[in-house]
């Protein structure tokens, strides 16, 4: 027998479909949404609806945007000669938070993954080639994740960009700041040796 009212059961079920939300969390969120002031629940509902209706891809870099261009492509004072190629829109935030990078981005929306049936045509690679061919770009930084798929995608795009007269770079590999050498895996350590630089 269901011991909870059907609309409550359904709300828990819908919340459980969200990533990393299990049954207990979904239940806690559902009770919160029922007990919260009406404005709070309404604000969440509207935020979901508005985001779904207005968010699209930037016509230049394919980052998420609410108009034809994303906030970064339409900002003044960015270095328009450097493009950082990332897998997902979330990665843009990671670089922006460093406050070190002032160039533009290009969001692929995934990596090449034959296992999951994702070929190069499913990514925004065509759009990247168009930019390199038509914009005044001098460097493309491949900033895909340091995974097998990320590497393969960076290599693949690197080859496509080779005919253009631009610098193509990859993020440095090495030991993470604050990490412990004892626990670093061999591949990371080997890469950090290969990439060593003069001290001071």
Cα–Cα distance measured from residue 148 to residue 23, given in angstroms and rounded to the nearest whole number: 33
Among 62, 71, 142, 186, binds a copy of itself (CB under 8 A): 71
Q: Is residue 111 packed enough to be buried (19+ CB in 10 Å), middle (13-18) or exposed (0-12)? A: buried
Kindly state whether residue 162 participates in binding a copy of itself, applying the rule CB under 8 A: no
Kindly state whether residue 108 participates in binding a copy of itself, applying the rule CB under 8 A: no
Q: CB-wise, 15 or 85, nearer to a copy of itself?
A: 15
Kindly state whether residue 6 participates in binding a copy of itself, applying the rule CB under 8 A: yes
Q: Give how far Cα 109 sits from Cα of 49, 63, 85, 89, Å.
A: 22, 9, 10, 7
Cα–Cα distance measured from residue 199 to residue 13, given in angstroms and rounded to the nearest whole number: 56
Residues 26-65 that bind a copy of itself (CB under 8 A): 27-34, 38, 40-41, 43-45, 47-52, 54-55, 64-65
List the structure tokens of 93: 């935030």
Q: CB-wise, 76 or 136, nearer to a copy of itself?
A: 76
Cα–Cα distance measured from residue 115 to residue 152, given in angstroms and rounded to the nearest whole number: 13
Among 22, 68, 79, 90, binds a copy of itself (CB under 8 A): 90
Kindly state whether residue 4 participates in binding a copy of itself, applying the rule CB under 8 A: yes
Beta strands 104-107 and 82-86 are parallel
Q: CB-wise, 64 or 112, nearer to a copy of itself?
A: 64
Other CB atoms within a 10 A radius of the CB of residue 3 amount to 5
Positions touching a copy of itself (CB under 8 A) are 1-8, 10-11, 13-15, 17-21, 25, 27-34, 38, 40-41, 43-45, 47-52, 54-55, 64-67, 70-72, 75, 88-90, 92-93, 96
């Amino acid at each position: 027998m269901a011991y909870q009212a059907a609309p409550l059961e359904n709300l828990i079920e819908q919340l459980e479909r969200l990533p990393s939300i299990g049954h207990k969390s979904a239940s806690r969120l559902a009770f919160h949404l029922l007990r919260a002031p009406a404005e709070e629940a309404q604000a969440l509902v509207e935020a979901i609806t508005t985001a779904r209706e207005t968010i699209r891809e930037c016509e230049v870099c394919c980052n998420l945007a609410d108009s034809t261009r994303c906030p970064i492509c339409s900002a003044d004072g960015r270095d328009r000669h450097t493009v950082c190629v990332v897998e997902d829109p979330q990665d843009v935030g990671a670089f922006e938070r460093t406050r070190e990078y002032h160039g533009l981005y290009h969001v692929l929306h995934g990596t090449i993954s034959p296992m999951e049936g994702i070929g190069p045509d499913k990514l925004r690679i065509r759009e990247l080639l168009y930019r390199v061919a038509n914009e005044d770009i001098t460097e493309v930084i491949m900033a895909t994740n340091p995974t097998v798929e990320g590497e393969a995608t960076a290599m693949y795009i690197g080859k496509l960009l080779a005919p253009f007269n631009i610098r193509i770079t990859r993020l440095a590999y090495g030991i993470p700041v604050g990490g412990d050498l004892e626990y670093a895996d061999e591949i990371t350590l080997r890469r950090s040796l290969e990439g060593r630089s003069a001290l001071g």
